[in-house]
Amino acid sequence: MPLILAATPIGDPRDAAPRLAEVLASAEVVAAEDTRRLRRLCAALDVTPTGRVLSYHEHNEAARTADLVEAVAKGESVVLVTDAGMPSVSDPGYRVVRACVDADLPVTCVPGPSAVLMALAVSGLPVDRFCFEGFLPRKDGERRRVLEELAHERRTMVFFEAPHRLATALSAMAEVFGPDRPAAVCRELTKTYEEVRRGGLAELAEWAVEGARGEITVVVSGLPSGVGVMTLEEASARVAELVASGVRRKEAAAQVAAETGLSKKALYDSGLTSPPSP
């Protein structure tokens, strides 16, 4: 029997795939990120697990992975569920999948709701090409470094974010990607207070200061086609050239920002901190 990754609803339990109830009822082992949430889900689905129920979360997955792999190797049916969505996607699961693959054991899944795909679909942003970036780092420097690496990404980008860090994250995106870069903040998808807020990054950051609650997915447009790819250092040099030719720094920063898609503020500030040219 394979390891079964079972997607769970991201909000409304009625979105559960019919096969989810079947595998939860019949599995010999059910590994859950939160066993209390599993009980609530099973109650909503009117199903009672008959196998062993184990906890499997970020604090014990390293130690418990071997037990799950051993169970799969013995031919037991093992189902892994997380609190919402697909296991291993910004949730526990990658360790045991990797371990099963390394042991040449089968892995399959029960598909289901996805916050990433739903947010993309309702965002109003291009969906022909996209990338999922998960959660941004919590520390300011690390967050900025990751965003600067994505400054030239042309695909639509999808992020998860905690509500208490949303305003800070959107402000950082506005600085690196530009204040007018189109984006959408999707919160509480499929739940009673579902909300999709669309606008430029700076506008959304200002809105988020008042506080946003619930599970949040952020969708950000990629760098527009036709906009030149240039590093911040190269763009800052271009600003310096324009200033040397007599263009006001504010106007030079705005011009280069429009040419490159980089943040006007970052370009303006870089000129203030850069050493003078010889």
pLDDT digits 0-9 by tens, 213-231: 999 999 999 988 766 667 7
CATH topology for 115-220 is 3.30.950
Note the pLDDT of residue 176.
87
Which pTM value belongs to this model? 0.81
CB 147 within 8 A of CB 177: yes
Class of domain 3-110: alpha beta
166-177 vs 140-149: helix crossing angle, rounded to 10: 40
Question: Cα–Cα distances in Å, from 26 out to 76, 105, 203, 222?
Answer: 11, 20, 49, 44
Note the pLDDT of residue 151.
86
Q: What are phi and psi of 217, to 5 degrees?
A: -125, 130
For 3, other C-beta atoms within 10 Å of its C-beta total 27
Note the pLDDT of residue 192.
93
User: CA 47: distance to chain centroid?
Assistant: 31
Note the pLDDT of residue 170.
97
Note the pLDDT of residue 274.
53
Give residue limits of the domains in the chain: 3-110, 115-220, 232-273
The low-confidence residues of the chain, meaning pLDDT below 70, are 226-229, 261, 271-278
